[in-house]
Amino acid sequence: MEGFAGFLRQDVDAVPAGLTLPQSSRVIEEHVNRVKTLKRALYGRASFELLRTRIPNQS
């Protein structure tokens, strides 16, 4: 617990901002999680090109 508290003290400005500001990285985290899940499912079974076709271009 002391290590966690020390970590929070190092980032003292970010902690209140993360708890009070309305911005969220939830959408980005969902995309990252989906990509990681696909990579795990296709590991050793498929090529990079197949992985690219499974992940739509978001730009």
**Both structure tokens of 5:** 């508290």
Q: How far apart are CA 52 and CA 58, in angstroms?
A: 12
Mean pLDDT value of segment 25-35:
85
Please, what is the average pLDDT of the chain? Answer: 78
Closest alpha carbon to 38 in 57, 58, 59, 52: 52
Distance CA 42, CA 27 (A): 23
At residue 57, the pLDDT reads 67
Q: What is the pTM of this model?
A: 0.44
* Res 29 pLDDT > 60: yes
Q: Residue 48: pLDDT band by 50, 70, 90 thresholds? A: confident
Q: Which residue would you say has higher pLDDT here, 49 or 30?
A: 30
Q: Is residue 15 over pLDDT 80?
A: no
